[in-house]
Amino acid sequence: MGTILIIDDDSALRALLGQILHQSGWEVLEAEDGEAGIQLARSHRPEVVLCDLLMPRCNGFQVCRCLRAEQNLRDVKIIVTSGRSYVTDRLHALEAGADEYLVKPIQTDELRRLLKRLTARESEGDTRVLTVPVYQAPLVRFWGVRGSIPTPGPSTMFYGGNTSCVEVRADGEIIIFDAGSGIRALGLQLSQEFKDQPLDLTLLLSHTHWDHIQGFPFFMPAYNPRNRLRILGYEGATQGLFRTLSGQMESPYFPIGLEEIPANIRIEELRDMEFTIGRVKARAWFVNHPGICVGYRLETSAGSIAYVPDMEPFHRLRSQPNPNDTSVRASVEFAMHEDRKLAEFIDGADLLIMDSQYDEAEYQSHIGWGHACVDDVANLAVLARVKQLFLFHHDPAHDDEKVSRLVAHARQIVSDQGGDTVVEAAREGLEIKLGG
Ligand SMILES: [Zn+2]
Ligand SMILES: [Zn+2]
């Protein structure tokens, strides 16, 4: 067992904790204030520092910052202890560099468990989570399927009312498409399933319209400092990803800022259209939708998944209002060329999850809104020889019956075209096993 340093101005508590930890095999050092604690940490380089929050000559926040600033003390595990249970204190302690925050009175069992976990993790040498063995078989699971705004209620019970969020598990990765309101339930599922086990997650953002990011502040795994979350997406039309994501968490809208979130979050603005997530090959494609918006395609060992949540076919937009005009005709030809490129992007996909917000008649009054109609999507899926199509981004005005009618209509189109694409509508909770 290693050395533990207790920094606390309460001598009785120091003595009691010291005795308990000594019995557990720890070499115990004690300091009665922050400055003395920092000196002892420098001279003895303990494995763990148990540090009170409020004490003279450097409070716990300052001790954390000081130890983290020193090269040879960066690996020391710091547990901040405090009689205060404010969430902001906990967040600030973690932000200052603490690994954990314990509220007094300290429960001996809880402290022992915590020490075991912290020191065991150190011996692994890498906090990256080896999640492969515990993940289920490769799958795709829908957590939010609605476009524009959440629409919970009796009329959307079957397909669901949460906005865009789709989970992919494959090749040892958990990859999340978009952070609409559906990501809240995904977060709860992950927290329940993996409990104390640290998670390594990747969130791919198609774009930052609110229905694709609004659930992020409620994603529980982001509040666990042991988790790693990589957020990937493209810089928006007017500002970068970080600014947009933090903007929705500023104080007028939300009590905790993005920078205060304790998980290890890395926001990466993508520049290339091809990249990798572990062993998964990923590609992105800019689609026709207001602002900067992409679709993604993942190549996993269990199959390929294309996710295009918001998209309006180019040719539809350009066909208006007078397709016989020669200048319009050139424009339409260009647009059809662009649409063919999208078809190539999704070509042969095992699963295609695609914006099918409107029916043909509705689309006529929503031209230029950035969304597709079911007819176009069904035709595109057949053209691209997609194996399974999931209609997605359901219109907030569509009840379950309407969505089912759209599925039937899309199946009819596929059949008329002689295609063999299987058509379903995405619905919350639906789980598709990959790889047969
Ligand atoms: Zn959307
Ligand atoms: Zn959008």
Structural domains for the chain: 3-124 (3.40.50.2300), 132-433 (3.60.15.10)
Distance from the CA of 182 to the center of ligand 2, in angstroms? 16
* pLDDT > 70? residue 123: no
Which residues lie closer than 8 Å to 4 by C-beta, 6 or more apart?
21, 26, 27, 28, 29, 46, 47, 48, 49, 50, 115
Distance from the CA of 235 to the center of ligand 1, in angstroms? 17
pLDDT at 337: 84
* pLDDT > 70? residue 126: no
Q: How confident is the model at residue 427 (pLDDT cuts 50, 70, 90)?
A: very high
Ligand nearest to the CA of 236: 2
Distance from the CA of 239 to the center of ligand 1, in angstroms? 18
Distance from the CA of 223 to the center of ligand 2, in angstroms? 27
Q: How confident is the model at residue 226 (pLDDT cuts 50, 70, 90)?
A: confident
pTM of the shown model: 0.71
* pLDDT > 60? residue 122: no
Q: What is the pLDDT of residues 52-82, one digit of tens each?
A: 988 888 889 889 999 989 888 888 999 999 8
User: Average pLDDT of 400-418?
Assistant: 98
The least confident of 87-101, 168-182, 223-237, 412-426 is 87-101
User: Average pLDDT of 211-228?
Assistant: 95
Q: What H or E segment, with its residue span, contains residue 267?
A: strand 264-269
Distance from the CA of 311 to the center of ligand 1, in angstroms? 9
* pLDDT > 50? residue 256: yes
Q: How confident is the model at residue 317 (pLDDT cuts 50, 70, 90)?
A: low
* pLDDT > 70? residue 163: yes
Q: How confident is the model at residue 334 (pLDDT cuts 50, 70, 90)?
A: confident
Distance from the CA of 346 to the center of ligand 2, in angstroms? 19
User: Average pLDDT of 21-47?
Assistant: 93
User: Average pLDDT of 174-202?
Assistant: 94
Of 105 and 230, the structure prediction assigns the larger pLDDT to 230
E strand spans, 292-340: 294-300, 303-308
The least confident of 133-147, 163-177, 190-204, 394-408 is 133-147
Q: What H or E segment, with its residue span, contains residue 228?
A: strand 228-233
Q: What is the pLDDT of residues 267-299, one digit of tens each?
A: 999 989 999 999 999 999 999 999 899 999 999
Ligand nearest to the CA of 294: 2
Distance from the CA of 435 to the center of ligand 1, in angstroms? 28
User: Average pLDDT of 186-211?
Assistant: 93
Which residues lie closer than 8 Å to 176 by C-beta, 6 or more apart?
165, 166, 167, 168, 183, 186, 201, 202, 203, 204
pLDDT at 314: 83
Q: In what order do the strands lie in the sheet with 139-144?
A: 264-269, 228-233, 200-204, 173-177, 165-170, 139-144, 431-433
Closest CA to 306 of 389, 400, 385: 389
pLDDT at 82: 87
Distance from the CA of 380 to the center of ligand 2, in angstroms? 20
pLDDT at 124: 41
Reported residue count of the chain is 436
User: Average pLDDT of 307-327?
Assistant: 75
pLDDT at 326: 64
Q: What percent of the chain has pLDDT over 70?
A: 93
Mean pLDDT of the chain: 90
| CA distances to 2, 184, 218, 229, 420 from 187, in Å | 35, 5, 8, 12, 35
Distance from the CA of 394 to the center of ligand 2, in angstroms? 12
Distance from the CA of 94 to the center of ligand 1, in angstroms? 34
Distance from the CA of 266 to the center of ligand 1, in angstroms? 23
CB 42 within 8 A of CB 31: no
Distance from the CA of 357 to the center of ligand 2, in angstroms? 11
Rg (CA), the chain: 26
Q: Burial of 128 by CB count in 10 Å (0-12 exposed, 13-18 middle, 19+ buried)?
A: exposed
Round to whole Å and give the CA distance between 50 and 409: 64
Distance from the CA of 301 to the center of ligand 2, in angstroms? 30
* pLDDT > 80? residue 345: yes
User: Average pLDDT of 17-42?
Assistant: 92
Round to whole Å and give the CA distance between 331 and 334: 5
Residue 262 backbone zone (phi > 0: left; psi -120 to 50: alpha; other: beta): alpha
CB 241 within 8 A of CB 200: no
Residue 69 backbone zone (phi > 0: left; psi -120 to 50: alpha; other: beta): alpha
Distance from the CA of 337 to the center of ligand 2, in angstroms? 23
Distance from the CA of 353 to the center of ligand 1, in angstroms? 13
pLDDT at 187: 96
Ligand nearest to the CA of 149: 1
CB 404 within 8 A of CB 367: no
CB 307 within 8 A of CB 164: no
Distance from the CA of 273 to the center of ligand 1, in angstroms? 21
Highest-scoring range by mean pLDDT, 78-87, 233-242, 349-358: 349-358
User: Average pLDDT of 335-363?
Assistant: 94
pLDDT at 413: 98
- Residue type for 22, please? H
Instruction: Enter the tokens of residue 433.
Output: 């096993």
pLDDT at 220: 95
Distance from the CA of 281 to the center of ligand 2, in angstroms? 24
* pLDDT > 90? residue 372: yes
Distance from the CA of 283 to the center of ligand 2, in angstroms? 19
